[in-house]
Amino acid sequence: MEYSTFGRHVAIDCWGVDFDLINNAERLQLHMVEAAEACGATVLSVQAQQFDPQGATVLVLLSESHLSIHTYPERGFAALDCYTCGDTVDPEVAIEYMVNVLKPNTTHSKKLIRGTGDLEVVERSIEKVMVK
């Protein structure tokens, strides 16, 4: 499939993630930057926020767009998304990198093709049960 310069947007919900892993904004920030670099993106800046009593948000601003995570450790839940413009950076690589880091029990994901008119939803995997 050929993509416009507007790009692809991958969103994934991760369930059954270890509390301590997703309750550490500093550690998540390091992994998110690694994920962005793994997919070939150019990191412009990073914002990370640790919440009290728990939870974290990390936003990696990319030249190609963004990679983000929002966590709810008390529920074992992390919401990730990555939007990249053009066809040289693959957001699925960044998301897969983070899934390998988080090791969720279950994932639900969608990929959107952006900028071609109506949003085209490509179902990547509605439910994927991870084996640890």
User: What pLDDT is recorded for position 101?
Assistant: 97
Ramachandran angles phi, psi of 10, nearest 5°: -110, 130
User: What does the alpha-carbon distance between residue 54 and residue 73 come to, in Å, rounded to a whole number?
Assistant: 7
What is the rounded distance in angstroms from the CA atom of residue 10 to the CA atom of residue 80?
A: 8
Active site residues: 65, 70, 85
CATH code of the domain occupying 8-129:
3.60.90.10
Q: Minimal CA–CA distance to 39: which of 53, 25, 60?
A: 60
| DSSP element (H, E) containing 126 | strand 120-129
Q: Show pLDDT as tens, one digit a residue, over the chain (132 residues).
A: 454 557 889 999 999 999 999 999 999 999 999 999 999 999 999 999 999 999 999 999 999 999 999 999 999 999 999 999 877 899 999 999 999 999 999 999 988 877 776 666 666 554 454 444
pLDDT of residue 126: 42
Tokens (6 digits) for 130: 């991870």
What's the start-to-end Cα distance of the chain, in Å? 33
Find the Cα–Cα–Cα–Cα dihedral 26, 104, 1, 32, rounded to 10°.
10
pLDDT at 66: 96
pTM of structure: 0.86
pLDDT in the model for residue 81: 97
Helix 91-102 with 25-38: angle, nearest 10 deg: 140
